[in-house]
Amino acid sequence: MALIEFKRCPHCGKTTWQEFVPQAPPAPSYWRCRDCGDRRDARRISVGQSALLNHGRIQTDQLCADVLIVDISPRGAKLRSDEEMPVVVREGERLLFNPQLQPFGELARYHPSIVRWIRDGDFGVHFERPLAMASVDIMRIVKN
């Protein structure tokens, strides 16, 4: 069970639930905000111009749809709704996300995620459990 406190986040400034994270040295604090999370300390791998080729899949109770992967990290991903088949998600909604970047392995299965933000047709998901892969391994898979 996680140790949590209700206090002000030094990063986003909101007073919200803070979660104690024992592995802090790369981060400035042992406490992580549950609202802003630690999405900025994970290196994002931009899919770039090949974004049209990298389709992931999301699944909720109401829908199962393809999405475009804009960038991905061990902690989450920035996704774009496909123009031909728009996806409607809500902030805070739980969903399953499959990056479909490998034929098998960690980037080929569904990961429980939470929608953290929505802007225009893009939205960000935070993985409930970070991927076991390092950013450099994800980059090799995306770039090849």
Distance CA 142, CA 108 (A): 13
34, 7 in Cβ contact below 8 A? no
- What's residue 37's pLDDT? 55
Angle formed at CA 143 by CA 140 and CA 144, multiple of 5 degrees: 80
Amino acid residing at 26: P
Domains and CATH numbers, the chain: 4-38 (no CATH), 45-143 (2.40.10.220)
Which tens digits make up the pLDDT trace of 11-52? 677 787 777 766 545 555 666 676 665 444 566 677 665 555
Percent of the chain with pLDDT over 70: 73
77, 116 in Cβ contact below 8 A? no
Q: With 0.75 as the threshold, say if the pTM is over it.
A: no
Please list the residues that pair with 69 across neighbouring strands.
79
Sequence-ordered alpha helix ranges (H) in the chain = 135-143
Q: How many CA atoms lie within 13 A of 73 on its CB side?
A: 14
Sign of CA dihedral 87, 91, 96, 100: positive
Distance CA 79, CA 69 (A): 5
Percent of the chain with pLDDT over 90: 19
Which tens digits make up the pLDDT trace of 82-121? 777 778 899 889 999 999 888 888 888 999 999 998 888 8
